[in-house]
Amino acid sequence: MPKCSLRSWASGSPFASGRFPHSVSEATWIRRSDDRQTGGAAPAYPVLMSKHPAGLSDAIAVVSRGGEIRERHRGDITAHPGLAGYLRTAARIELSAPLSFVWNAAPDTLPAGPPDTGPQVLRVRISPASRPSGGCYAEVRTLGPDERCGLTGRELQVLTLLACGLTNPGIATRLAVSRRTAATHVERLLGKLGVTSRAGAAAIALDRDLLTLPVQGDGGLDGLPPLSLLRLEAAVRGTVDSPPAPAAPRRRMARLRPLMIGAVYPSAGDWFGDGLLMEQGTRLAMDEINERGGIAGRRIEHIPLRTNIQDTGAIQRAIGRLASEDVDAITTGYTFQRSRDSLAAQFLPAASAGFPLLHHSTSASAADLIAEEPEKFGNVFQVCGRESVYGIGFVRTLTTLRDSGAWRPASNRLQVFDTDDADTTTFTASATEAAERAGWRISVDHISSLSPNWPTVIRKIHDLDPAAVMVAQFSASSLAAFVRGFREEPTGALLYALYSPSVPLFLDQADSSAEGLLWATVSGLYGDHFGHEFGRRFHQRSGITSGMSSAGIRYDMVHLLAAAWAQCDSPHDAKEVNRLLRRTIHRGVNGSYHFGTPDQTNLVYPDQTNDPSIAQAHLVYQIQNGHHHIIAPAPYSTAPFRPPGSTRVQP
Cα–Cα distance for residue pair 296/366, rounded to 1 Å: 33
Asked whether residue 642 carries a pLDDT value surpassing 90, the answer given is yes
Q: What is the pLDDT of residues 230-262, one digit of tens each?
A: 888 888 887 533 444 444 444 444 568 899 999
Asked whether residue 140 carries a pLDDT value surpassing 80, the answer given is yes
Q: What is the pLDDT of residues 561-585, one digit of tens each?
A: 999 999 998 898 999 999 999 999 9
- The share of the chain scoring above pLDDT 70, in percent, equals 83
Confidence of residue 166 (pLDDT cuts 50, 70, 90): confident
**Mean pLDDT, all residues of the chain:** 84
For the beta carbon of residue 455, count every other beta carbon within 10 angstroms: 11
What is the structure's pLDDT at 22?
A: 30
- 427-435 contact pairs (CB < 8 A, 24+): 427/390, 427/391, 427/394, 427/470, 427/472, 428/388, 428/391, 428/392, 430/388, 430/391, 430/392, 431/391, 431/392, 431/394, 431/395, 432/391, 434/392, 434/395, 434/396, 435/395
Asked whether residue 13 carries a pLDDT value surpassing 90, the answer given is no
- Provide the 3-class DSSP secondary structure of residue 464: helix
Q: Which CA distances in Å does 104 have to 50, 69, 146, 158, 356?
A: 15, 20, 16, 12, 39
What is the structure's pLDDT at 622?
A: 98
Phi–psi pair at 323, nearest 5 degrees? -60, -30
What is the structure's pLDDT at 110?
A: 46
More confident residue, 150 or 278: 278
* Alpha helix stretches (DSSP H) within 115-163: 153-163
Asked whether residue 8 carries a pLDDT value surpassing 50, the answer given is no
Q: What is the pLDDT of residues 339-381, one digit of tens each?
A: 999 999 999 999 999 999 999 999 999 999 999 999 999 999 9
Angle between helices 550-567 and 270-291 (to 10 degrees): 40
For the beta carbon of residue 472, count every other beta carbon within 10 angstroms: 28
Q: What is the pLDDT of residues 38-79, one digit of tens each?
A: 333 333 322 223 333 333 345 678 888 877 887 655 555 666
| Centroid of chain to Cα 330 | 15
Asked whether residue 327 carries a pLDDT value surpassing 90, the answer given is yes
Query: CB-based contacts of 420: which residues, under 8 Å, 6+ apart?
Result: 446, 447, 448, 449
More confident residue, 8 or 183: 183
Cα–Cα distance for residue pair 636/329, rounded to 1 Å: 32
Confidence of residue 520 (pLDDT cuts 50, 70, 90): very high
Q: What is the pLDDT of residues 402-421, one digit of tens each?
A: 999 999 999 999 999 999 99
Cα–Cα distance for residue pair 448/404, rounded to 1 Å: 35
Confidence of residue 473 (pLDDT cuts 50, 70, 90): very high
Q: Write the DSSP assignment of 468-498 as a string of letters.
A: EEEE----HHHHHHHHHHHHHS--SPEEEEE
Q: Which amino acid is at 400?
A: T
Cα–Cα distance for residue pair 387/471, rounded to 1 Å: 13
Confidence of residue 627 (pLDDT cuts 50, 70, 90): very high
Angle between helices 529-542 and 270-291 (to 10 degrees): 100
Q: Which CA distances in Å does 6 have to 150, 216, 306, 540?
A: 10, 26, 22, 10
